[in-house]
Amino acid sequence: MADPQKIKSNKMWQEQDNNKREDCKPPERIADLIAGHLGQTLNKEEQNELNAWLAGDENKRLFDELTNPKVLKEGIVTIYGIDEKKMLKKIMSHIKE
């Protein structure tokens, strides 16, 4: 037989979890809003949606990290495997020619 205390505890946890999720948006939507922000293509409604999402401290920290130019650069370098020093050397050799 199920322990009534455990059931009550699980139910309370689920209710708390559901409350946290009320203002959650699917990750794909948030990614679209952040990309729109970076590309400066958000309309007023989308900007308001992004601002509402940013009201959460955790969301704001994530946004700040994802939109940090240094982090973006490192991500691009990682994705494309760009060796900055090698690329600069190559560019400089073309300039000297």
Is 12 contained in some domain?
Answer: no
How many domains are contained in the chain? 2
Q: Which amino acid is at 85?
A: K
Read off the pLDDT of residues 2-47 as tens digits, 9 standing for 90 and up: 444 444 444 444 444 444 444 567 899 999 999 999 999 999 999 9
**Residue range 61-86, pLDDT digits in tens:** 999 998 998 888 888 778 777 777 88
Q: What share of the chain is helix, strand, coil (3-state, %, to 5)?
A: 80, 0, 20
| Unique residue bearing structure tokens 């494309």 | 80
Same domain, 32 and 48: yes
Co-location of 29 and 57 in the same domain: yes
Enclosing domain of residue 78: 69-97
Structural domain includes residue 92: yes
